[in-house]
Amino acid sequence: MKTEGRNAVLELLKTDKTVEKILMEKGAQGTLGKIFAEARKKNIRVQFVDRAALDRESESGRHQGVIAFTTAYEYSDLEDLIAPSERKDGLIVLCDGVEDVHNLGSILRVAECAGADGVVIPAVKGASVTEAVIRISAGAAEHIRVAKVVSLNRAVEQLQEAGYWVYALEAGGESIYQKDLSGKVALIVGGEDSGVKRLTREKCDGVLSIPLFGKVNSLNASVALGIAVYEVVRARLQRE
């Protein structure tokens, strides 16, 4: 698996994941020099090549002078994301049919920045964690756990059994600003066109909406999630 881009590779090196080698453009300076220094500390092989060689290896076309080769992305189990029973709070994000890699990458970044315990994605009908997703997440994918599940509906049930309040982010629901979001919370963000599926929505403890006052009737999935997860953060800070 390849990780491309300066920020993504630098974040990768902060984790315990196995990096097999790094291709770096000759004449490394600035951030590239920092990446080289970190790689040397971890005894990771670095090969200096010309830009044409990086262009040939790049899948995104935006390698920024560096590509790291790692083992395949390792998904977590849902149980690894669930907060221990003694914890009073928890935050998990579920993606229901998010197929655009840019949206998934942004969702991982937003969730990681907000301190979420993990992100759940479906095994089918949704984007997986690829090199592009890791790059778009600006390295956040290297720090947050991602669980891939066969049934999102069963995942909702497991979270409820573990004490989570599970909410779908959809139009037509209760205003998110009027909801107590303290405690253990799971938020479901839907796909770009279909939103949260009906059966999944019906299994939730409620539907939360973000008030819209403009002429456009919806928000990008990652933007909507950003607003929602920071309402959870605000609830936590107020309780403290």
Q: What is the pLDDT of residue 139?
A: 82
Average pLDDT over residues 43-66: 90
Q: What is the pLDDT of residue 193?
A: 77
Higher-pLDDT residue of 186 and 131 is 186
Torsion sign (Cα): 141, 146, 149, 153: negative
Strands 90-96 and 165-175, bridge-based pairing: unpaired
C-alpha span between 26 and 49 (Å, rounded): 6
Cα→Cα distances 188→129, 173, 235, Å: 18, 13, 18
- pLDDT category of residue 52 using cuts at 50, 70 and 90: very high
Looking at the DSSP assignment, which residues form a beta bridge with residue 46? 22
SS3 content of the chain, % helix, strand, coil (to 5): 35, 25, 40
Please name each of the domains of the chain with its CATH number. Answer: 2-70 (3.30.1330.30), 78-239 (3.40.1280.10)
* Residues above pLDDT 70, as percent of the chain: 100
pLDDT surpasses 70 at 169: yes
Q: What is the pLDDT of residue 111?
A: 97
- pLDDT category of residue 142 using cuts at 50, 70 and 90: confident
Residues whose CB falls within 8 Å of the CB of residue 144, separated by 6 or more in sequence, listed in order: 108, 111, 112, 116, 118, 119
- pLDDT category of residue 204 using cuts at 50, 70 and 90: very high
pLDDT surpasses 90 at 158: yes
pLDDT surpasses 90 at 81: yes
Average pLDDT over residues 73-98: 93
pLDDT surpasses 90 at 192: no
* Residues above pLDDT 90, as percent of the chain: 62
Asked whether 94 and 156 are in contact (CB, 8 A), the reply is yes
pLDDT surpasses 70 at 190: yes
Average pLDDT over residues 210-224: 87
C-alpha span between 195 and 184 (Å, rounded): 23
The average confidence (pLDDT) of the chain is: 91
- pLDDT category of residue 161 using cuts at 50, 70 and 90: very high
Instruction: Give the model confidence (pLDDT) of 106-115 as tens digits.
Output: 999 999 999 9
Q: What is the pLDDT of residue 240?
A: 66
Q: What is the pLDDT of residue 147?
A: 96
Asked whether 96 and 197 are in contact (CB, 8 A), the reply is yes
